[in-house]
Amino acid sequence: MILDMAHYSRKPPAHHGLSRRQLLRIGGMTALGGSIACLGSILGYLALDELTDARRPTPSPPPARPTHLKLIDRPPITPRTEWGARAPDHEARNETGFYQDGQAEGWLEYEGDLRAIYRTVVVHHSVIYEIDDPTTMRAIQDEHMDERGWADIGYHFGVGKNGQVFEGRALNARGTHVEGYNSGSVGVVFFGNFEEESPEPGQLTAGLRLINWLALRLELTHLAGHGDFNDFTRCPGRNMAAYMPLLAESALLSLGTDGYRPLPTASPTPES
């Protein structure tokens, strides 16, 4: 089975807010910008207030804060409608129906703040490549739906060889890309077979930008390769493995699988 067999028995620890971790990430991104030429264009400005944790008691008097901090803009992402995605099929043989009690592997749409759910970004390679990037994105979806019997493409994002980033499965839906650990894991697939070839420089830059944005937007803690979770696969390939520390460090994420947490139950507690 490929789907997530996690138990949904506990609430994840809260990790919202503009924590020290985030401030470190922002600082780290700023420092890294000097060493990666393309990164300078990534940095934009966003009001600090948008990320302030409302639950945190306000100190009196409030500390002096900069009005704005350098953060990361959302990278350009080709939406499903533009690459010709098929609609999810909820009759799919290996991902049938919707998540509920007794249907733990059904299509799960996360409720509430995604920052409380996502922890880890999981990096994959596609192995296949067809003609160009959009054709490859469609081919991956076809493979997942027609051959593996899933409801939709399993990954949340695709990163093409030419640096085009594609919207995959909706981000508020649990992915199907890392057996046993799908809950709270964002799936990002880089196109290519990195056992045999190396990722393209523009592809790495686009992926780095995407991962940095996801790390900040979702307050992620970890980055892992697919094979770090599932030792039956070499995904994302040895030539991508060489870049994993860079991808993690640039987004101030820890490398590895320790960030995984099962989901809390989605069901309401019975009254009686």
Contact residues: Zn ion, CB under 5 A: 124, 226, 235
Secondary structure element (H or E) that encloses residue 83, with its range: helix 80-83
Phi, psi of 254 (to 5 degrees): -80, 145
Q: Which is nearer to Zn ion, 130 or 179 (CB)?
A: 179
Q: What is the smallest separation between the CB atom of 19 and Zn ion, expressed in angstroms?
A: 30
> How far apart are the C-alpha atoms of 21 and 182, rounded to whole Å?
24
Secondary structure element (H or E) that encloses residue 226, with its range: helix 226-229
- Say if residues 193 and 127 touch (Cβ distance below 8 Å): yes
> How far apart are the C-alpha atoms of 152 and 89, rounded to whole Å?
7
Q: What is the smallest separation between the CB atom of 251 and Zn ion, expressed in angstroms?
A: 19
Beta strands, E only, the chain: 43-47, 68-72, 120-125, 157-159, 165-167, 185-190, 222-225, 254-255
Region of 125 (left: φ > 0; alpha: ψ -120 to 50; beta: rest) is beta
Tokens found for residue 189: 């697939």
Q: Which is nearer to Zn ion, 47 or 128 (CB)?
A: 128
- Supply angle C-alpha 262, 263, 266, rounded to 5: 150
Contacts of 52 (CB under 8 A, 6+ apart): 17, 18
Q: Which is nearer to Zn ion, 209 or 226 (CB)?
A: 226
Q: Which is nearer to Zn ion, 80 or 124 (CB)?
A: 124
3-state secondary structure of 82: helix
Tokens found for residue 74: 């959302």
Q: What is the smallest separation between the CB atom of 121 and Zn ion, expressed in angstroms?
A: 12
Q: Which is nearer to Zn ion, 96 or 193 (CB)?
A: 193
Q: What is the smallest separation between the CB atom of 164 and Zn ion, expressed in angstroms?
A: 20
Burial tier of 21 (Cβ tally within 10 Å: 0-12, 13-18, 19+): middle
Q: Which is nearer to Zn ion, 25 or 157 (CB)?
A: 157
Q: What is the smallest separation between the CB atom of 24 and Zn ion, expressed in angstroms?
A: 29
Q: Which is nearer to Zn ion, 235 or 240 (CB)?
A: 235
Q: What is the smallest separation between the CB atom of 175 and Zn ion, expressed in angstroms?
A: 11
Q: What is the smallest separation between the CB atom of 233 and Zn ion, expressed in angstroms?
A: 6
Helix axes 20-33, 201-218, angle to 10 degrees: 160
